[in-house]
Structure 1
Amino acid sequence: MNVELLLWLGGGAAALLAIAPVIRWTHRVLVHVEQIADDWTGEEGRPGVPPRPGVMERLEAIERRVTAVEHELLPNSGTSLRDAVDRVDRRTAAASDE
């Protein structure tokens, strides 16, 4: 009976040692998946730590900034940077013709 018990315990220990690398690898992968999910969805703020916006919030902020820059780079009602450059260019051309 003692020999049989030792064989069972030894076999169980060997099985645990055999699957330990798989368990470690799985844990590492799951930790990375969790980090990716946190980056995608963002994180709530907690005491002493500011909130982190998720990917979709960041993309929305980038789109707003790009829209603002496009507004300045394209001619519109006369208030954009492009309109100001065009006015200066016309004045400079007119002054150089005189």
Structure 2
Amino acid sequence: MAAVLEENGCSPPAGDSDVEAGDGARHKLESLLNRNMRIEMTDGRSLIGCFLCTDRDCNVILGSAQEFLRPSDSFPVREPRVLGLAMVPGHHIVSIQVELESVASPQYL
């Protein structure tokens, strides 16, 4: 019998352990929402912005994003370029670093 696909194209979970693992990953992503992060890209650029969402292709949407170029011989360190809302294709992401929350920062619910 052919596998049943849900409306979004995903297969239904095989067992409870798969559901728990998916819930853990979902909670981890939810904990990163609205946190500042730095994304290093394959072409050497870095984007810093507020994590808003991602999709199944690992594309990341950043709000209030700024672009930083890697300094080289021809380009000295410059001021960041303000992008605003930016989509970073998942296949261009080399690394992601999440900013730690400071103890002094106010906690919002």
TM-score (norm 2): 0.26
Instruction: Specify which structure has the higher proportion of strand.
Output: 2
The structure number with the bigger radius of gyration is 1
Name the structure, 1 or 2, with higher relative contact order (CA <8 Å, separation 6+): 2
TM-score (norm 1): 0.28
